[in-house]
Structure 1
Amino acid sequence: MTTTTPRPEAPTALVGHERLLRAVTGLFTRRGLPVARARTAAEALCHGDLVGFPSHGLFNLERLYLPLLDTGRCDPRAEPVTVNDLGACAVVDHRGALGLWAAAEAMDDAVARARRHGVGIVAVRGGTHFGCAGFHAARAAAAGMVGVVAANCGGQRLVPAPGGGLPLLGTNPLSVAAPGLPGRPFVLDMSTTVVPTGRLRLAEREGAPVPAGWLEDERGAPVTDPGAYDRAEARLRWLGGETGTGAYKGFGLGLAVEVLAAGLSGSATGPAPGALTGDGAQGTDDGVGFLLLAVDAVRLRPGGDFTQAMRDLFGTVADCPPARDADGEPRYPGWWEAERAQRRRREGVPLPAGLYEELAALGLFDATEDAGHEGGGAR
C-alpha cells in the first residue's frame, strides 16, 4: 500500500456566489458562448463549489473545460439538432456543445415534454462533460417533477469489470431528483464507481491521501496515494467494493447507465470491440451520451397528492432520531447540499487559495480586490 504525506491545510478565499457567476459567464462569453448559455454554464460549473462538490466545480475550469473549448473539441456556438422526435421523447445531437449548458437545456426540454405528455425523455448524442449530474436533475425537481439523469463517458474506459483484465467503463454518473421538504429537494448524485476521478485529482492537488477502498492495485490491495491512479499504478473500485461485498452492483449500475445514456441515443460506448484489441488503454471521452428524464408525477399519480407524499416521505427521514454516538443526524441526499448552498450564497463560496490565484490568472477577477483568506469576508 502506498501513501502520501498530507500538506498543511491551505487557506481559502471567500468569493461571493454572484461574483463568481458573473466572472465565469464573462470568461465563457469571451470564448464564444452566447451570453444566456454562458450564464447557464457558469451556474452549472459553480454549482459544485456552491453545494460542496469541488471536484466538479471550478477546479475543472482550466483542467477540463477551457481545453475542450480551446482545442476545438467543444464548439462554443454549436446548436443542438433534434434527429428523432416522438412527442414525449426525442433524440438530440448536441454536436459537441458545452455540456454544462446543453444538458441543462435538454432537461428543460424533457420538462416541457412532460408537461404535455406526463413524461418527457431526451436522449443526447454528441455531448461533452456536463459537470454535476445533480444540477441538471434538480431542474426537474424545481418544476415539481421527478428528474433522472444518466451519462456515460463516451468511448472512455477507466474501470474493468469485476475479475476483468481490461478497462471497459467510465465512472458513469447517475442522478435522481424529486421535490422534498421546502428548500430541500431530494437530489441523489453519484458515480457508479466508489468516487469519480475528479475526487482523486483534487486529493492529489491537495497532497492528501484517499481512504482505503477508493483505489486498488492489480492484486486488489488498497492504495491510498491518489497520484497512483494517473500513473496507472491503481484502478478505481466499483460501488460495493470487492466482488464478495457487492462490486457487481456498482458494475451493474454502470452498465445500466451505458444502456440508458448510450444505447438509446446512439452514442459511443466503453465496452466496444476495440476495447479487446488494444485500440488505446483508456479509449476516448468523445461521443458522450446522456439520458434526461422528467416525470410529471402530480399528473401521473392518482389523487394528485404527490407533493405532500414526498414531504411526508422525506420529512420522516429528516425527523428520524440519530443512533447513539452517531456522527450527525439522519438526512436524505440533497439536504446538506442545500444547507451549504444557502450558507454560501449568504457568506461566500470558499475557494482554496491556489485555485483562487489560478482563476485570477485567467482574468476572472483581480486577486487584490479580495481580503484573500478565510475570515476576510466575501466580495
Structure 2
Amino acid sequence: MQKVLQAQELRAQVATVLIAAGSSPDEAVIVAANLVMANLSGHDSHGVGMLPRYVEAVLEGGLKPNTSVHTVLDIGSMLTLDGQRGYGQIVGEQAMALGIARAQMHGSCIMTLANAHHLGRIGHFAEMAVAQGLVSLHFVNVLSRPVVAPFGGADGRYGTNPCCIGVPLKGREPFLLDFATSRVAQGKMRVAHNEGRQVEPGTLIDEHGRPTTNPGVVVVPQSNGLFGALRAFGEHKGYGMAVACELLGGALTGSGTWHKPTDAAVRAIVNGMLTILIDPAKLGTQAVFEQEALAFIDWLRAGPVAPDFDAVQMAGEPERAARLQRTRDGIAIDAQTWRDMVAAGARVGVVLAG
C-alpha cells in the first residue's frame, strides 16, 4: 500500500538519512529539497526513490559527501569544473552559480562539469538560469550501467543522457524543456517495476533484444544474468541526440564516455554536463527576442485544440501543475520504494517514521 507524505515531512526524513550517511546538515537539506522537488514536479524517477542508491554509493565510496566543485580552468567566459564525485545536487548548484555570474558579466558562459555524482533533475539548473533572465542549454551523459540501446542495436550501450533547454519569457513562466533521450527515464522503469505495472509497447527490449512491456528487464538481472534495454525516443533522431549528449557531456567535459563491460554491482552514477548560458540583454537582441518569443507562444496557443487534449501546452507547464497538486495533496510513494528507503535508513542507523 502506498504512503502519502507532505513535502516538509519527506524532506526532513530524507535529510536525516543523508546526515547519518555522512553529509553535513546544510548539504543534507539541499539534497533532500532537490529530491523532493523532483517528486513535487511529477518526476518520481529523480525523487526520493534515489535515496537507497545514494546511500549505497556513499558506502561503496563512489559518492563523496561534503565535496565541493573544483575549478580546473577559468578564462572568464569559459569554465572547466570538476565535481570530484560530490553530490550532483551540490556541485551542480555550485557550478551553475559560477556560470550564471560569468554569463551576467561577459554575456555568455560555456561551462563543463565533470565527475559529478547523479545531478538529478537537470531542469532544476535551467530554472536557476532562467530566473536570472538567462537562456541555458545543458547536455548530459550518464556513466552507470548502460541501459539504452543504440538505434539498430539489441543491448544497452549508453545511459539515458538528458538534454535540457531553458528560455525565459518576459512576464510569463519560462519555457523549460527537460527530457531523457531514451523514450522514458530509467528511474520511471524502477517506479513502474516497484508498482507492478507494465509499460507502453515500444519502450523496451528484453535481454534477447526482443520487444517487451516488462520494466523489470532494466531493473533486475534476468534469468541469464543479463539486462534488457530502453529504446531511444524518435528512432534515429533521438539516438543521434543521445550520442551528441555523450560526446558533449562526456568526452568534451573530460568526464568520460561509456565503453566498457557492465559492472552491475557499482551503485555510483557519474554525470558530465556541458552548459551554455546566454544573456539576451548583452546579445543586443533582447527587445525583439522578448517580443517574438511571446508572439510565437501566443500563436501556438491560438490554434484549435486536438481531440482528447484540454489545451496546447508548453514545456514546463506539467511540472508546475504537478507542484501545485502535490503540494496540496501530498506525495505518494509506492510500497516497494518506501521499503527500500526504510532499508537504506536502517543501513546508516536511521528509523524512518511511518
Q: TM-score, normalised by structure 2?
A: 0.86
Matched, 1:236 2:226: no
1:231-261 Cα deviation digits (max 9, x unpaired): 2363211112xxxxxx221111011111211
Matched, 1:336 2:324: no
* Equivalent position SS for 1:163: coil
Quote the residue 2:56 is aligned against: 67
Determine if contact 1:183/1:338 at 8 Å carries over to the other structure: no
Residues 301-340 of structure 1 mapped to structure 2, 5 A cutoff: 301-323=284-306, 325-340=307-322
Determine if contact 2:82/2:116 at 8 Å carries over to the other structure: yes
Matched, 1:151 2:140: yes
Determine if contact 2:167/2:175 at 8 Å carries over to the other structure: yes
Q: Distance in 2 between matches of 1:65 and 1:256?
A: 27
Q: Distance in 1 between matches of 2:49 and 2:199?
A: 18
* Residues 236 and 94 of structure 1: CA distance in aligned 2, closer, same or farther (over 3 Å): same
**Matched residue type, 2:71:** T
Quote the residue 2:92 is aligned against: 103
Determine if contact 2:140/2:249 at 8 Å carries over to the other structure: yes
**Matched residue type, 1:191:** A
Quote the residue 1:296 is aligned against: 279
* Equivalent position SS for 1:138: helix
Q: TM-score, normalised by structure 1?
A: 0.81
Determine if contact 1:239/1:251 at 8 Å carries over to the other structure: yes
**Matched residue type, 2:20:** R
Residues 75-224 of structure 1 mapped to structure 2, 5 A cutoff: 75-154=64-143, 156-164=145-153, 167-180=156-169, 184-217=173-206, 221-224=210-213
Q: Distance in 1 between matches of 2:206 and 2:341?
A: 35
Q: Distance in 1 between matches of 2:295 and 2:12?
A: 38
**Matched residue type, 1:176:** I
**Matched residue type, 2:228:** A
Matched, 1:250 2:238: yes
Question: How many residues in Structure 1 have an aligned counterpart in Structure 2?
Answer: 343
**Matched residue type, 1:336:** P
Determine if contact 2:140/2:162 at 8 Å carries over to the other structure: yes
More moved, 135-144 vs 83-92: 135-144
**Matched residue type, 1:344:** R
Determine if contact 1:181/1:314 at 8 Å carries over to the other structure: no
* Equivalent position SS for 2:248: helix
Residue segments in structure 1 that go unaligned for 5+ positions in a row: 1-9, 241-246, 368-379
**Aligned-residue identity in percent:** 28
Q: Distance in 2 between matches of 1:138 and 1:58?
A: 20
**Matched residue type, 2:309:** D
Residues 352-371 of structure 1 mapped to structure 2, 5 A cutoff: 352-356=334-338, 359=341, 362=345, 363=350, 366-367=353-354
Q: Distance in 2 between matches of 1:294 and 1:233?
A: 38
1:63-85 Cα deviation digits (max 9, x unpaired): x2111122221111222211111
Task: Pick the aligned partner of 2:8 from 18, 30, 34.
Answer: 18
Alpha-carbon RMSD across the aligned residues, in angstroms, is 2.7
Residue 89 of structure 1: CA displacement? 1.3
**Matched residue type, 1:157:** P
Residue 59 of structure 1: CA displacement? 1.3
Residue segments in structure 2 that go unaligned for 5+ positions in a row: none
Residue 19 of structure 1: CA displacement? 2.9
Q: Distance in 1 between matches of 2:263 and 2:8?
A: 41
1:7-38 Cα deviation digits (max 9, x unpaired): xxx4441x222332333333323333233332
